[in-house]
Amino acid sequence: MTLTEYNFDGLAGPTHGYSGLSPGNLASERHAGASANPRAAALQGLGKMRFLTELGVHQAVLPPQPRPDVASLRRWGFSGSDAEVVARALACDETLVRWASSASAMWTANAATVAPSTDTSDGRLHLTVANLSSMVHRSLEAATTYRVLGRIFADEERFAVHEPLPGPGAFSDEGAANHCRLASDAGRVHLFAWGRSASGAARTAPRRYPARQTREASEAVARLNQVGDAALSWRQAPDGIDAGAFHTDVLALGNENVLLLHELAFVDAERLLGELGSRLGANFRACLARSDELPVADAVASYPFNSQLVTLPDRTMALVAPEEARQNPAALRYLERVQAQVPEVGRLCFVDVNASMKNGGGPACLRLRVPLCEDERNAVTARVFAGEALLSDLEAWVKRRYRDRFTLHDLADPEFLRELETALDELSTLLGLGSVYEFQRA
């Protein structure tokens, strides 16, 4: 059975902004309170999708979530009309509104963890929605993500969409940002990364920033996704987390038989590479960056490992990196070494996703990788696969519905709140998703 990978990109929402809500995400902290242009951010993301489509990479789209999340504000004790709820929350504690208005759902690498039907014991595609319980603002995403993915992958004979793990605590799950699927003729490996263990198995913890993913969550997701012996659970390096690698995809990137990583991505990286080599065989390729070649501060600042490594129609690979990696000499030298030393990587490209980078998300953060066979692709009836017609429709929708400036206090305007709901209602119709938003179901 032949698989084709589809990159499901998240759209920046109409209230895209910079709230600085994620300790350990250095870019997010640095740009907290910066002025935001939601229209430009969304068009930038669509531009990346269009670029990858032109390369021959298959694209799909996931919609923004309703922000502000008025339903959560109500659960936190505020009452009245939607406008009154937001106004009262702003007057009480602005942080509550920042949590409820975060742009974070656009980074769909955190939406779920995916196992293709070729790898699972029941022969279905499995998606386990991430609970994102380590951060308040991200934990608000899971319910809508579950409804959206359930609507897209609705055929239960072919797809299994699992609810988020019960959290927080022992089962804190950050999704595919801490998961990498590698494959060769010799086998498959689902590499699950974790930063802490609720049982205390990891004695050395990061000292500066929190470790978000637990070992227990990674192992539970592997069981739910039915990948069996293909699962390999490995610990993130505490020093890497303290340097700003809050997710593994900040310091490691894999595709098929190729793994790119920094020496601070995992504990005992050399032993990990040996284990992967024994499972994947002689054509496993790894390109390890050491700190004297690429200081971890440069890797975190410019995100060369948060690139997209994608397979092109001619079976070569393209490495699609953020512009910031081209502008950083150490990161650029490493990427050029990858292209020179890894024969599969035939092309190095750069894209401008600065609106996302300011919040700590490079090209890889913006997409959830979903490998589908032809029958599975045909079973998806929602209009989410990105061809020219859909991309043009989405660009027109963004230009019509998004503002070019957003501040938190714009939410005090009742007309703006109605404007946001009208925009998302129109989008859910455009994508053929039906009533996936809570305000549509009320």
Q: Is 365 annotated in the active site?
A: yes
Q: In degrees, to the nearest 5, what angle opens at C-alpha 254 toward C-alphas 19 and 343?
A: 130
Asked, as a colleague might, if the bond just before 168 is cis with ω within 30 of 0, I would say: yes
Strand partners, 114: 127
Does residue 247 carry a catalytic annotation? Answer: yes
- 58 included as an active-site residue: no
Mapped onto helix, strand or coil, the DSSP state of residue 6 is strand
Tokens read off for 414: 């009742």
**288: CB partners within 8 A, 6+ apart:** 261, 262, 263, 269, 273
State both tokens at 213. 């993913």
Tell me the helices (H) and strands (E) count for the chain, helix number first: 18, 15
Percent composition of the chain: helix, strand, coil (DSSP 3-state, to 5): 40, 20, 40
Structure-block tokens of residue 330: 């150490």
Q: Which of 31, 126, 247, 262 is catalytic?
A: 247
Note whether 334 and 293 are within 8 A (CB): yes
Helices (H), 292-430: 296-302, 323-327, 329-341, 354-357, 374-379, 388-401, 414-430
Closest CA to 116 of 269, 241, 2: 2
Which residue in 5, 174, 256, 324 is the catalytic one? 174
Which residues are tagged catalytic? 174, 247, 365
